[in-house]
């Protein structure tokens, strides 16, 4: 097995035994990226010399000492670009500081390596909305890797990264992990600092890892979680050792099956793989329980009011005055604002800014935004009632396998519905993980299918326990 296709756990054992060095890992990764990234388009930039310099100083006594981690290009790393996949930031912005999650990774000995492609400002589910190029699915180069963390998932699946960080606002870690055959976890809202994550929708965004195994996800979570005084939404709750949840059986665990998530319209291959996974969990001693999440049908519409509303406020700061794209042809200040934003933002970002501004405007706030917040409360209450009956909830991560590049380009509503099973988890602030559970045939190819496991607030340990048991089985 090449170093670039190894797990964190394997690399740590080999580093401890002095069989390899951090420099060896960086060199192997760099070679793979040089060979394959031109085809996959997972990375936007990478600095081998800087990573090698950090590798030479790596402290192998630290828990992640010498391990390179790829970073989604909306998470700030000192001295590196942070484009958010947008022309708005691609011309002249260099991050002046480390995000909270990056500080924690560095404190554990990890090396941030490379900037990974994404849908512009994390708005999309295919990574086709990036202004800086398309990312392709390693399992079929004619298909999307999912999004918005498509570069992060494609890099892991294509052996261009050992592990990566992504961000998840409505499924943007779990959905690409599912479509690329990786493990992706969105922790409870507030578990990981959002300081230094370029904001899309502040009440929904969460950073999380994409990895090859559940063990690697647990290892990274151990060093990402914790209170950050620079983020008022980060929780002052001690994080357990998530790896202690691994290797335990799941006998007697109640697995919730929401009837609203097992409906007609799901791809037949996805349905078959997920049903087989449920049977496997049942065979391991879990007890399936049918539950209801009755407000699932309003999840997507609720999200597409709240998220654009928050985006319209968050993206107002990109005006070309202090940083970001600045139009050369403006005659006065108003024209400067209008032309800079017109030229700097892509179509999907403009669509969501317009939608968000509309639902917050006078005369429409109560009809849309306030009503969406009430619906969000009902969605959260659905989960609270369900968790009175069960320990975790399982579902498909995505209703379909990866679609072809350009297939939904002119149909944004169909693209939005791709996140129907992941969006409610963000609205309720819950932890969720996607793990590979089989394949579905589409166009003569076998494509990955993801199983989503949803937990109670701050119960990442239990979903990792279930995911690990399934993975090992």
Tell me if 18 sits within 8 A of 26, measured CB to CB: no
| Strand 445-454 relative to strand 392-396, pairing | antiparallel
Calculate ∠ Cα 208-209-214, nearest 5°: 120
Domain count, the chain: 1
Dist CA 459 CA 473 (whole Å): 22
Ramachandran angles phi, psi of 142, nearest 5°: -90, 5
Catalytic residue among 86, 148, 273, 340: 148
The pair of structure tokens assigned to 20 is 């390899």
- What CATH number did the domain enclosing 297 receive? 3.90.1300.10
Please confirm, yes or no, whether 234 is among the known catalytic residues: no
User: If you search the block for the tokens 């002046």, which residue do you land on?
Assistant: 96
Q: What is the pLDDT of residue 415?
A: 86
Domain that holds residue 427: 1-473
Q: How far is CA 430 from CA 173, 420, 421, 424, in A?
A: 14, 15, 13, 9
Catalytic residue among 4, 149, 167, 172: 172
Q: Tens-digit pLDDT profile for the chain (473 aa)?
A: 689 999 999 999 999 999 999 999 999 999 999 999 999 999 999 999 999 999 999 999 999 999 999 999 999 999 999 999 999 999 889 999 999 999 999 999 999 999 999 999 999 999 999 999 999 999 999 999 999 999 999 999 999 999 999 999 999 999 999 999 999 999 999 999 999 999 999 999 999 999 999 999 999 999 999 999 999 999 999 999 999 999 999 999 999 999 999 988 899 999 999 999 999 999 999 999 999 999 999 999 999 999 999 999 999 999 989 889 999 988 899 999 999 999 999 999 999 999 999 999 988 999 999 999 999 999 999 999 999 999 999 999 999 999 999 999 888 878 888 899 999 999 999 999 999 999 999 989 999 999 999 999 999 999 999 999 999 99
User: If you search the block for the tokens 């009503």, which residue do you land on?
Assistant: 371
Please confirm, yes or no, whether 72 is among the known catalytic residues: yes
- Identify the DSSP state of 171: S
Catalytic residue among 4, 6, 72, 186: 72
Dist CA 302 CA 170 (whole Å): 11
Nearest CA to 461 among 184, 214, 288?
A: 214
Q: What pTM value is reported for the model?
A: 0.97
Tell me if 440 sits within 8 A of 269, measured CB to CB: yes
The pair of structure tokens assigned to 396 is 């498909």
Name the strands in the sheet holding 206-211, side by side, starting at the edge strand that comes first in the sequence.
Answer: 43-45, 111-116, 68-72, 164-168, 206-211, 183-186, 432-442, 445-454, 392-396, 254-258, 287-291
Please confirm, yes or no, whether 434 is among the known catalytic residues: no
Dist CA 266 CA 178 (whole Å): 15
CA 315 to chain centre: 20
- Identify the DSSP state of 407: T
Convert 409-428 into a string of H (helix), E (strand) and C (coil): CCCHHHHHHHHCCCHHHHHH
């Amino acid at each position: 097995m090449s170093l670039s296709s190894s797990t964190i756990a394997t690399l740590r054992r080999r580093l401890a035994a002095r069989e390899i060095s951090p420099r060896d890992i960086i060199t192997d990764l760099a070679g793979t990226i040089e060979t394959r990234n031109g085809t996959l388009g997972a990375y936007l930039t990478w600095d081998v010399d800087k990573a090698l310099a950090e590798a030479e100083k790596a402290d192998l006594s630290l828990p992640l000492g010498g391990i390179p981690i790829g970073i989604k290009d909306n998470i700030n790393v000192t001295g590196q670009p942070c484009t958010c996949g947008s022309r708005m930031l691609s011309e002249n912005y260099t991050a002046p500081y480390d995000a909270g999650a990056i500080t924690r990774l560095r404190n554990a000995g990890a090396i941030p390596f490379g900037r990974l492609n994404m849908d512009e400002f994390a708005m999309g589910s295919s990574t086709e909305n990036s202004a800086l190029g398309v990312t392709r699915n390693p399992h079929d180069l004619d298909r999307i890797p999912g999004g918005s963390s498509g570069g992060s998932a494609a890099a892991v699946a294509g052996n261009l990264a050992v592990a990566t960080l992504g961000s998840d606002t409505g499924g943007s870690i779990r959905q690409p992990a599912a479509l690329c055959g990786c493990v992706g976890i969105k922790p409870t809202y507030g578990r990981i600092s959002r300081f230094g994550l370029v904001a899309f929708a502040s009440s929904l965004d969460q950073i999380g890892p994409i990895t090859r195994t559940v063990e690697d996800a647990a290892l990274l979570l151990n060093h990402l979680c914790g209170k950050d005084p620079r983020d008022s939404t980060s929780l002052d709750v001690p994080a357990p050792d998530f790896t202690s949840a691994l290797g335990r059986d799941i006998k007697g665990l109640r697995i919730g099956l929401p009837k609203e998530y097992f409906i007609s319209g799901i791809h037949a291959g996805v349905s078959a793989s997920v049903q087989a996974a449920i049977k496997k969990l049942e065979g391991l001693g879990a007890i399936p329980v049918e539950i209801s999440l009755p407000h699932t049908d309003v999840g997507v519409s609720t999200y597409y009011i709240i998220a654009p509303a928050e985006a319209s406020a968050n993206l107002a700061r990109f005006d070309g005055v202090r940083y970001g794209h600045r139009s050369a042809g403006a005659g006065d200040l108003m024209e400067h604002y209008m032309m800079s934003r017109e030229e700097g933002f892509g179509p999907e970002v403009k669509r969501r800014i317009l939608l968000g501004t509309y639902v917050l405007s006078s005369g429409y706030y109560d009809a849309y935004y306030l009503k969406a917040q009430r619906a969000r409360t009902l969605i959260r209450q659905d989960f609270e009632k369900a968790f009175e009956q069960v320990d975790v909830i399982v579902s498909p991560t995505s209703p379909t396998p990866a679609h072809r590049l350009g297939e939904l380009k002119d149909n944004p509503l169909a693209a939005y519905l791709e996140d129907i099973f992941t969006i409610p988890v963000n609205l309720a602030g819950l932890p969720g993980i996607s793990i590979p559970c089989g394949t579905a045939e589409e166009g003569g190819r076998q494509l990955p299918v993801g199983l989503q496991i949803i937990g109670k607030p701050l119960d990442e340990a239990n979903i990792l326990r279930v995911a690990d048991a399934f993975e090992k089985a």
